Chains A and B, each alone.
Chain A
Amino acid sequence: MRRNNFTIKGINPCFFTFLAISWLGGIMPLNLQAQTDSVKLSRKDSLNKVNDLKEVQIRRIKITRRQTSSTPLQILSGAELEKLNSLSVADAVRFFSGVQLKDYGGIGGLKTINVRSMGSTHTAVFYDGAQIGNAQNGQVDLGKFSLDNIEEIELYNGQKSAIFQSARGFASSSSLYLKSRQPNFEDGRSNRFKGTFKTGSFGLVNPSLLWQSKITDHTYSTLSAEFKNAHGRYKFRSFSGGWDTTGVRTDGDIQTMRLELGLNGILRDSSKWSVKLYGYNDEHGLPGAIVANVWHFSQRQWNRNLFAQSSFEKNIGRYSLMAVGKYTNDYQRYLNPDIVSVDGLLDNRYYQQEVYFSLANKFKVNKFWDLVLSSDYQMGDMNANLYRFAYPRRYTFLNAFATQFHFDRLDIQANVLSTIVSEKVETGPQPDNRNELTPSVLVSWQPFGQKEFRIRSFYKSIFRMPTFNDLYFTFFQPRSIKPEYTKQYDLGFTYIKGYEDQALTQFSIQADAYYNKVKDKIVAVPGTSQAIWIMMNMGMVEIKGLDVNMQSAWQLNKDLSLNAGLNYTYQKAINVEKTSSYHHQIPYIPVHNISILASATYRQFSMNYSYLYTGQRYNQAFNSLENYVQPFYTHDMAIHYNTLIHNRKVRLTAEVNNLLNQPFEVVTNYPMPGRSYRFTLTYDY
Chain B
Amino acid sequence: MIINMNTIKSISSKILTVLLLAVMLTSACRKDPQVIKEVREYLFPPKPDHKMKGFYLVNEGNMGMNKASLDYVDFGLGQYRRNIYNEANPSQVKGLGDVGNDAAVFGSKLYIVVNISNKVEVLDVKTGKRINQIDITNCRYITFNKGKAYVSAYLGQVGNPAEPNGIVAEIDTTTLKEIRRVKVGRQPEEMAIINDKLYVANSGGYSPQNYERTVSVVDLNSFTETKRIDVAINLHRLKADKSGDLYVTSRGDYLDIKSKMFVIDTKTDQVKKQFDVAVSNLTISNDIAYFYSTEWSHHTGKMTVTYGMLDVINEKILGTRFITDGTDKNIVIPYGIAVDPSTKEVYVTDAKDYVSPGTLYCFSPAGVKQWSATTGDIPAHFAFVYK
A contact residues vs B (CB 8 Å cutoff): 238-243, 245, 288-294, 298, 337-346, 387-388, 429, 475-476, 478-480, 501, 503, 525-532, 534, 536, 538, 554, 556-558, 560, 562, 564, 566, 579-581, 587, 594, 596, 598, 609, 611, 613, 615-616, 619-622, 624-626, 630-633, 635, 668-669
Q: Is B119 part of the binding interface, using a Cβ–Cβ cutoff of 8 Å?
A: yes
| Pair A534/B158 contact, Cβ less than 8 Å | no
| Pair A291/B117 contact, Cβ less than 8 Å | yes
Q: Min CB distance, B140 to chain A, in Å? A: 11
CA–CA, A615 and B3, complex, Å: 39
CB-CB < 8 A to A298: which residues of B?
158-159
Other than the given A292-B97, A388-B255, A620-B65, 20 more pairs (CB < 8 A) read A238-B93, A241-B32, A289-B66, A293-B119, A294-B98, A338-B138, A339-B206, A340-B155, A342-B210, A346-B206, A429-B298, A475-B254, A475-B255, A503-B3, A525-B355, A528-B280, A556-B3, A581-B355, A620-B377, A668-B66
The B36-85 residues at the A interface (CB cut-off 8 A) are 36, 60, 62-67, 69, 83
Pairs A–B under 8 Å by Cβ, sample size 30? A240-B35, A240-B94, A241-B34, A242-B86, A245-B93, A289-B64, A289-B65, A289-B66, A292-B66, A292-B98, A340-B155, A340-B161, A388-B209, A476-B254, A478-B296, A525-B353, A530-B63, A556-B3, A557-B1, A579-B353, A581-B356, A587-B355, A611-B23, A616-B29, A620-B65, A626-B36, A630-B33, A633-B30, A669-B64, A669-B65
CB-CB < 8 A to A339: which residues of B?
206
Q: Is B135 part of the binding interface, using a Cβ–Cβ cutoff of 8 Å?
A: yes
Q: Min CB distance, A482 to chain B, in Å? A: 10
Contacts A242-B90, A292-B97, A631-B26; is A341 near B164 (CB within 8 Å)? yes
CA–CA, A594 and B25, complex, Å: 11
Contacts A594-B26, A620-B377; is A340 near B98 (CB within 8 Å)? no
CA–CA, A536 and B296, complex, Å: 12
| Pair A291/B155 contact, Cβ less than 8 Å | no
Contacts A476-B296, A532-B254, A626-B36; is A291 near B97 (CB within 8 Å)? yes
CB-CB < 8 A to A480: which residues of B?
301
CB-CB < 8 A to A554: which residues of B?
11
CB-CB < 8 A to B298: which residues of A?
429, 476, 478-479
CB-CB < 8 A to B7: which residues of A?
503, 556
Q: Min CB distance, B153 to chain A, in Å? A: 12
Partner of B30, one of A341, A594, A630: A630
| Pair B65/A243 contact, Cβ less than 8 Å | no
The 4 closest A-B pairs by CB, nearest first: A242-B90, A292-B97, A344-B161, A241-B35
Q: Min CB distance, B245 to chain A, in Å? A: 24
CB-CB < 8 A to A622: which residues of B?
355-357, 377
Q: Min CB distance, B316 to chain A, in Å? A: 25
Contacts A558-B1, A611-B19; is A387 near B209 (CB within 8 Å)? yes
| Pair A621/B356 contact, Cβ less than 8 Å | yes
| Pair B186/A342 contact, Cβ less than 8 Å | yes
CB-CB < 8 A to B89: which residues of A?
242
CB-CB < 8 A to B138: which residues of A?
338
| Pair A633/B94 contact, Cβ less than 8 Å | no
CB-CB < 8 A to B280: which residues of A?
528-529
| Pair A503/B11 contact, Cβ less than 8 Å | yes
Q: Is B367 part of the binding interface, using a Cβ–Cβ cutoff of 8 Å?
A: no
Q: Is B31 part of the binding interface, using a Cβ–Cβ cutoff of 8 Å?
A: yes
CB-CB < 8 A to B210: which residues of A?
341-342
Q: Is B309 part of the binding interface, using a Cβ–Cβ cutoff of 8 Å?
A: no
| Pair B356/A580 contact, Cβ less than 8 Å | yes
Partner of B116, one of A291, A346, A566, A615: A291
B contact residues vs A (CB 8 Å cutoff): 1-3, 7-8, 11-12, 15, 19, 22-23, 26-27, 29-36, 60, 62-67, 69, 83, 86, 89-99, 114, 116-119, 133, 135, 138, 155, 158-164, 186, 204-210, 251, 253-255, 280, 294-296, 298, 301, 303, 351-357, 376-378
Considering only CB atoms, which chain A residue lies closest to B121 in the complex?
A292
CA–CA, A10 and B145, complex, Å: 56
Contacts A530-B378, A630-B33; is A338 near B159 (CB within 8 Å)? yes
CB-CB < 8 A to B155: which residues of A?
338, 340
Partner of A293, one of B62, B118, B303, B378: B118
Considering only CB atoms, which chain A residue lies closest to B37 in the complex?
A625
CB-CB < 8 A to A294: which residues of B?
98, 116-118
Partner of B66, one of A245, A343, A478, A669: A669
| Pair B378/A292 contact, Cβ less than 8 Å | no
CB-CB < 8 A to B207: which residues of A?
341-343
CB-CB < 8 A to A558: which residues of B?
1
CB-CB < 8 A to B95: which residues of A?
240, 292
Contacts A476-B254, A557-B8, A669-B64; is A243 near B158 (CB within 8 Å)? no
Partner of B158, one of A340, A526, A630: A340
| Pair B208/A632 contact, Cβ less than 8 Å | no
| Pair B8/A560 contact, Cβ less than 8 Å | yes
Considering only CB atoms, which chain A residue lies closest to B119 in the complex?
A293
CB-CB < 8 A to A343: which residues of B?
207, 209
Contacts A292-B98, A594-B26; is A580 near B352 (CB within 8 Å)? yes
Q: Min CB distance, B317 to chain A, in Å? A: 20
CA–CA, A596 and B16, complex, Å: 12
| Pair A631/B158 contact, Cβ less than 8 Å | no
Interface class of chain B by DSSP: loop
Interface class of chain A by DSSP: loop
| Pair B62/A620 contact, Cβ less than 8 Å | yes
Partner of A526, one of B1, B255, B354: B354
Q: Min CB distance, B233 to chain A, in Å? A: 13
| Pair A338/B11 contact, Cβ less than 8 Å | no
| Pair A293/B135 contact, Cβ less than 8 Å | yes
CB-CB < 8 A to A619: which residues of B?
65
CA–CA, A534 and B298, complex, Å: 11
CA–CA, A621 and B358, complex, Å: 13
CB-CB < 8 A to B32: which residues of A?
241
| Pair B29/A631 contact, Cβ less than 8 Å | yes
CB-CB < 8 A to A503: which residues of B?
3, 7-8, 11
Most interface-central of B35, B96, B162, B206 (chain A CB within 10 A): B206
CA–CA, A242 and B95, complex, Å: 10
| Pair A345/B159 contact, Cβ less than 8 Å | yes
CB-CB < 8 A to A557: which residues of B?
1-3, 8
| Pair B356/A620 contact, Cβ less than 8 Å | yes
CA–CA, A293 and B139, complex, Å: 13
CB-CB < 8 A to A633: which residues of B?
23, 26-27, 30
Q: Min CB distance, B332 to chain A, in Å? A: 9
| Pair A243/B209 contact, Cβ less than 8 Å | no
Partner of B19, one of A289, A528, A587, A596: A596
CB-CB < 8 A to A611: which residues of B?
19, 22-23
CA–CA, A538 and B356, complex, Å: 14
CA–CA, A79 and B23, complex, Å: 26
CA–CA, A557 and B155, complex, Å: 70
CA–CA, A598 and B16, complex, Å: 11
Q: Min CB distance, A446 to chain B, in Å? A: 31
CA–CA, A564 and B94, complex, Å: 41
Partner of B98, one of A291, A346, A536: A291
CB-CB < 8 A to A532: which residues of B?
254
CB-CB < 8 A to B163: which residues of A?
340
| Pair B296/A527 contact, Cβ less than 8 Å | yes
| Pair B92/A242 contact, Cβ less than 8 Å | yes
CB-CB < 8 A to B119: which residues of A?
292-293
Considering only CB atoms, which chain A residue lies closest to B115 in the complex?
A530
Partner of B255, one of A240, A341, A476: A476
| Pair B22/A242 contact, Cβ less than 8 Å | no
CB-CB < 8 A to A596: which residues of B?
19, 22
Considering only CB atoms, which chain B residue lies closest to A477 in the complex?
B298
Most interface-central of B2, B164, B355 (chain A CB within 10 A): B355
| Pair B66/A291 contact, Cβ less than 8 Å | yes
